[in-house]
Amino acid sequence: MFGRTLSGAIRGIDGLIVEIEVQIGYGLSNFFTVGLAEGAVKESKVRVKSAFLESDLFFPSECVTLNLAPADIRKDGSSYDLSIAMALLLANGTLPPHCAVFFDETMILGELGLTGEIRPVRGVLPLVLAAKKAGLKQVIVPLGNAEEASLVKGIRVLCPKTLRECYECLSNSRPLPVYQSAKSIPQADSIIPSLDMSDVCGQRIPKHALEVAACGGHNLLFIGPPGSGKTMLAQRLPTILPDMTFDEALEATSIYSISGNLHARGLIRTRPFRAPHHSISDVGLVGGGTPTPRPGEISLAHHGVLFLDELPEFRRNVLEVLRQPLEDGHVSITRRLQSVVFPSRFMLVASMNACPCGNLGSMRKPCICSREAIIHYQSRISGPLLDRIDIQLETSEISYDEICADASSEQSESIRERVIRCRQIQTDRFAGTAVHCNAQMGVQELRQYCHLDSDGHALMRRAMDKLGMSARANNRILKVARTLADMEGCQNIQKRHISEAIGYRILDRKRILGNKTA
């Protein structure tokens, strides 16, 4: 006796079709599981058997062999429970043979409770996308995942609540409950609600730098004493960024689904903002783990913002793993039996004090740190990592008059409109390519769109010779200059754009030692 159903496995952020094959043969009562099944999958036989008993369904007493194909791909998690149960019901003759045709067109996902209830699982969205790509007509998912599954158009979403309900509908040829989304465009709540740029007092230059970063997708580092508004500025960056496109939102939602952080929300339209604590490990930041690697904070920030507060407090090895993602927009994680790639195209925004006590550069409190302590503190951030941060800017303390000023600052919405206009220029420029903003330009794009006149070349030559900048820093300056030109609607980069872009790289010009500068 044989039964076959379809389920799915996650590899990176992509879904794969998995065939669930059950054979019931003669022999002593036993249950064999093959096909690179991990612990949660092997334990499914206990959950399935209990669900059968509580649902008043016959569980075979013969020898049962369960195969999950393809056998060379690891299967992890509890999402196979319901599919295994349906294959068992088909194999032992409890379900009529015509159900086999239905199962050939259906992906089945869901964890079974001991009483037979169908519980939500991770990674439903990419698995439903894989089902649609494979030409399947419908998916059976837990009710808690139905909103997520309904984001994929052109495939029916069926959501029985219990194993017994699923069995009764199929055995009596009744239709399973079809989920109808109450929202035309499901949308998650804002990641950071009720924040606006008008909340920030003073800080004219840092706010302008934040707008430049938003316009070109540039990485940004704020340096200044405590209370100067570094964190406040960073948290408001998403409020001036354009909305994600549908494809970007679908990709971001898939990552949250795989990581288990979607929590029954719909499509994520608001750009993610992730702010991990400085005690995070390298695996927590870039992803990994066993047996199945999961996305880290940089992937959860995909198409959004990754904010690292108190940058020098992060462990050196944690910061160094950011190099590849910042350059390539993805991170590769290799384990013993598999290698996965997670997307990680994010804007890095970081903040730091200039010294261990935090008072270097303050006009109100004296710095008590020695010159050697300051140099050691700032050197915790390696040169190669700093090269990948386009804008490095000092923030100053806010005066009492600025705090009490009656004139309100510009609101996020008006800044966002300018950012959208600037991004549209870049969208038109890079149409048909994998580049979406100036920060993503490669060498070919720099040569094509960042022409300099003789004055511009002379200024860049002096800057490189005097400051000892690397070729990467040179390219970063050109990218920021291109953004500044776009913000003014200039076809070509002018000398003033290059001068401003160089001014935004304070750590290339000097180590911030204040009156202790050598």
3-state secondary structure string across 85-147:
HHHHHHHCCCCCCCHHHHHHCEEECCEECCCCEEECCCCHHHHHHHHHHCCCCEEECCHHHHH
* Identical fold, 2-171 and 197-514: no
Residues 6+ apart with CB under 8 A from 425: 486, 489
Identify the band that residue 346 occupies on the pLDDT scale cut at 50, 70 and 90.
very high
Torsion of CA 490, 491, 493, 496, to 10 degrees: -20
Please give the pLDDT value at position 514: 47
Structure token pair of residue 379? 């050197």
Structure token pair of residue 109? 């996902």
Tell me: pLDDT of 510 over 80: no
Please give the pLDDT value at position 264: 65
For residue 273, give the nearest of 233, 313, 315 by alpha carbon. Answer: 233
Kindly state the percentage of the chain with pLDDT values over 90. 68
Taking only the tens place, the pLDDT of each residue in 136-172 is 999 999 999 999 999 999 999 999 999 999 999 999 8
Which among 32-41, 125-134, 508-517 has the top mean pLDDT? 125-134
Domain ranges of the chain: 2-171, 197-514
Residues 6+ apart with CB under 8 A from 225: 353, 354, 358, 359, 360, 361, 362, 365, 397
Mean pLDDT on 320-346: 88
Tell me: pLDDT of 323 over 80: yes
As a whole number, the mean pLDDT across the chain is 89
Tell me: pLDDT of 36 over 90: no
Beta-bridge partner residues of 117: 162
Burial, 27: exposed, middle or buried (Cβ in 10 Å; 0-12, 13-18, 19+)? exposed
**CATH code, residues 197-514:** 3.40.50.300
Taking only the tens place, the pLDDT of each residue in 182-218 is 655 444 444 445 788 888 887 889 999 999 999 999 9
Please give the pLDDT value at position 257: 93
- Nearest-angstrom CA–CA distance, 327 and 343: 12
Identify the band that residue 79 occupies on the pLDDT scale cut at 50, 70 and 90.
very high
Please name the residue ranges forming H helices in 176-320: 204-216, 230-235, 246-259, 282-286, 297-300, 316-320
Taking only the tens place, the pLDDT of each residue in 234-275 is 999 999 999 999 999 999 999 999 998 887 677 888 899 999
Q: Which residue has the higher pLDDT, 201 or 133?
A: 133
Lateral strand order in the sheet of 106-108: 30-34, 63-69, 14-25, 2-11, 106-108, 138-140, 156-158
Mean pLDDT on 3-11: 95
Please give the pLDDT value at position 189: 42
Task: Name which of 11-25, 113-127, 188-202 the model is least confident about.
Answer: 188-202
Tell me: pLDDT of 406 over 60: no
Please give the pLDDT value at position 515: 43
| Angle, alpha carbons 503-506-511 (nearest 5°) | 150
- Nearest-angstrom CA–CA distance, 248 and 436: 12
Matching CATH number, 2-171, of 3.40.228.10, 3.30.230.10, 3.90.1150.10, 1.10.150.310: 3.30.230.10
- 74 touches 293 (CB < 8 A): no
> Whole-model pTM?
0.88
Q: DSSP letter for 151, please.
A: T
- 139 touches 118 (CB < 8 A): no
Structure token pair of residue 217? 């997708």
